[in-house]
């Protein structure tokens, strides 16, 4: 299921991908109403390298939302399945998939399962939704079938039904949002936890990172590992727009980018490609999509890429865990920081009962970070501040301002009436990076 090209050499992979890229550009020129306009003055046949991509326009989330229908490259009667993005950052965008796109999606997840070390004989419990216009559940279902696995489609939620399914069908692989798996483990009796540990060999974690930038497990990953000491945790990164999953191999050193399906550039604020090892915004060009292919689409996620040798033998480039959202990047005391790194420190302290982070612009026009924290009863405020300062300095190399507040006050900040979900970050900066 892994395209053999991925096991050859970086040069051969590069040549193969370049062909895929050129085919995509030619396809867009002929079939995409949106890109026909954007590429009107561009001789796409002169794009001869991945560096040349910098000459082409970027596509933003706003472009996609404002011109949604124009991105469609086929008549609507050729669409086999309609999907929407979750719309957490604005209104949902529609994606139409043709029959060939569904096959591509199946192939993509079959590769994901193969690269994560799954076997066609595996039994997979899907703890992700197949309906509600989501792509992930459908993609994994198609991929598991393509690969030859058996599936148990429980969907998201229902801890009781999840546990019943584990006991009834004895899956050895679970595909789930990792924080939901913790809910199930908390819900389960000791006997059921013992059964889970006996049966489940591997968890494919979607939607949330389980690793830090150095690839060690973050607090979420560690909490699962505490309850399931022998389970193999596999991290993935994907989105509807990419229609591709970047899945790590057993080495757990970043997701292998599928050569056949996508090209990923990491770009700076000006849309220029950053050097290997540098932090940049994940910008994708999809390969082999009929319905709604994307060119240089800026995802808003920030990662690092590596082409260093991987022990699994796959020679594709690898992508780090998502370090944060570009819009939330903080420039603080000469260093670049993401809220995720602060959450990670706070999540590691069981005496922190609630927190919220406030960002502001100070008098000299730079970012100011205040961490508002409530602490467990009995812990002295000064001791708490000391502990936090020590941990921030050790983990982040900088110390944000710490404010200890009553839990009720933090909860008030977290549940603003206008927001549907509790918030952890209040960004009041004047010039938000975009
Ligand atoms: Zn590998």
For residue range 70-95, list pLDDT tens digits in order: 999 999 999 999 999 876 556 789 99
Are the CB atoms for 245 and 236 separated by under 8 Å?
yes
- Expressed in angstroms and rounded, the spacing between residue 147 Cα and the centre of ligand 1 is 19
- Expressed in angstroms and rounded, the spacing between residue 316 Cα and the centre of ligand 1 is 8
Q: How far apart are CA 149 and CA 137, in angstroms?
A: 15
Residue of 336 and 144 predicted with greater confidence: 144
- Expressed in angstroms and rounded, the spacing between residue 235 Cα and the centre of ligand 1 is 12
pTM of the model: 0.87
- CA-to-CA separations, 74 to 32, 84, 197, 291, 339, in angstroms, rounded: 8, 17, 47, 6, 40
Q: How far apart are CA 266 and CA 272, in angstroms?
A: 8
- CA-to-CA separations, 414 to 78, 355, 359, in angstroms, rounded: 45, 8, 14
Q: pLDDT per residue over 376-399, tens digit each?
A: 999 999 999 999 999 999 988 889
Separate counts of helices (H) and strands (E) for the chain: 12, 21
**Structure token digits, residue 221:** 């990953």
pLDDT for 225 beyond 80: yes
- Expressed in angstroms and rounded, the spacing between residue 252 Cα and the centre of ligand 1 is 7
**Structure token digits, residue 407:** 């839990």
The Cβ of residue 328 has, within 10 Å, a number of other Cβ atoms equal to: 19
- Expressed in angstroms and rounded, the spacing between residue 9 Cα and the centre of ligand 1 is 14
Domains defined along the chain, listed by start: 1-325 (3.40.50.12780), 329-427 (3.30.300.30)
pLDDT for 432 beyond 50: no
- Expressed in angstroms and rounded, the spacing between residue 245 Cα and the centre of ligand 1 is 15
**DSSP annotation string for 5-29:** GGGS-HHHHHHHHHHHHHHHHHHHH
Q: pLDDT per residue over 188-205, tens digit each?
A: 999 999 999 999 999 999
- Expressed in angstroms and rounded, the spacing between residue 165 Cα and the centre of ligand 1 is 32
- Expressed in angstroms and rounded, the spacing between residue 116 Cα and the centre of ligand 1 is 9
Q: Round to the nearest angstrom and report the end-to-end CA distance of the chain.
A: 38
pLDDT for residue 433: 42
- Expressed in angstroms and rounded, the spacing between residue 170 Cα and the centre of ligand 1 is 28
- Vertex 314: Cα angle to 308 and 319 (nearest 5): 55
pLDDT for residue 421: 66
- Expressed in angstroms and rounded, the spacing between residue 196 Cα and the centre of ligand 1 is 27
Q: How far apart are CA 237 and CA 208, in angstroms?
A: 8
Single out the residue of 72, 78, 124, 112 nearest to residue 94, CA to CA: 72
Kindly state the DSSP code that residue 254 receives in the 8-state scheme: S
**Structure token digits, residue 234:** 């596999």
CA atoms within 13 A on the CB side of 350: 1
Give the E-state strand segments of 25-172 in sequence order.
81-84, 94-97, 123-126, 150-153
- Expressed in angstroms and rounded, the spacing between residue 33 Cα and the centre of ligand 1 is 38
Q: pLDDT per residue over 17-26, tens digit each?
A: 999 999 999 9
**Structure token digits, residue 262:** 């996508």
- Expressed in angstroms and rounded, the spacing between residue 410 Cα and the centre of ligand 1 is 42
pLDDT grade, residue 416 (50/70/90)? confident
């Amino acid at each position: 299921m892994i395209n053999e090209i991925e096991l050859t050499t970086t040069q051969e992979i590069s040549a193969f991908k370049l062909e895929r890229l050129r085919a995509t550009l030619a396809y867009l020129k002929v079939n995409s109403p949106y890109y026909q306009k954007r590429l009107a003055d561009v001789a796409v046949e002169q794009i001869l390298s991945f560096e040349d991509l910098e000459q082409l326009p970027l596509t933003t989330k706003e472009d996609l939302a404002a011109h949604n229908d124009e991105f469609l490259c086929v008549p609507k009667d050729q669409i086999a399945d309609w999907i929407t993005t979750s719309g957490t950052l604005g209104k949902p965008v529609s994606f139409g998939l043709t029959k060939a796109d569904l096959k591509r999606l199946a192939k993509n997840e079959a590769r994901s399962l193969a690269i994560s070390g799954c076997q066609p004989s595996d039994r997979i419990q899907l703890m992700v939704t197949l309906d509600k216009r989501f792509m992930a559940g459908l993609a994994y279902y198609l991929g598991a079938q393509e690969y030859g696995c058996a599936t148990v489609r429980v969907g998201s939620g229902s801890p009781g039904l999840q546990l019943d399914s584990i006991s009834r069908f004895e899956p050895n692989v679970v595909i789930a949002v990792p924080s939901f798996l913790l809910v199930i483990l908390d819900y389960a009796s000791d006997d059921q936890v013992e059964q889970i540990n006996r049966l489940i060999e591997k968890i494919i974690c979607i939607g949330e990172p389980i690793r830090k930038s150095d690839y060690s497990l973050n607090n979420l990953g560690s909490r699962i590992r505490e309850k399931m000491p022998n389970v193999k945790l596999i991290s993935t990164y994907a989105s509807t727009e990419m229609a591709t999953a970047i899945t790590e191999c057993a080495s757990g050193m970043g997701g292998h980018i599928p050569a056949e399906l996508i090209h990923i550039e990491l770009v700076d604020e000006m849309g220029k490609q950053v050097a290997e090892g540098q932090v940049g915004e994940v910008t994708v060009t999809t390969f082999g999509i009929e319905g709604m292919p994307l060119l240089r689409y800026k995802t808003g996620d920030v990662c690092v890429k590596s082409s260093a040798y991987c022990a699994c033998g796959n020679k594709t480039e690898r992508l780090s865990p998502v370090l944060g959202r570009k819009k939330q990047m903080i420039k603080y005391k000469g260093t670049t920081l993401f809220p995720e790194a602060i959450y990670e420190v706070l999540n590691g302290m069981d005496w922190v009962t609630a927190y919220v982070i406030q960002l502001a612009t100070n008098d000299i026009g730079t970012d100011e970070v205040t961490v508002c924290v409530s602490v467990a009863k009995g812990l002295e405020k000064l001791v708490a501040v000391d502990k936090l300062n020590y941990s921030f300095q050790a983990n982040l190399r900088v110390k944000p301002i710490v404010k200890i507040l009553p839990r009720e006050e933090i909860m008030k900040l977290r549940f603003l009436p206008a927001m549907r979900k509790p918030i952890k970050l209040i960004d009041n900066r004047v010039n938000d990076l975009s």
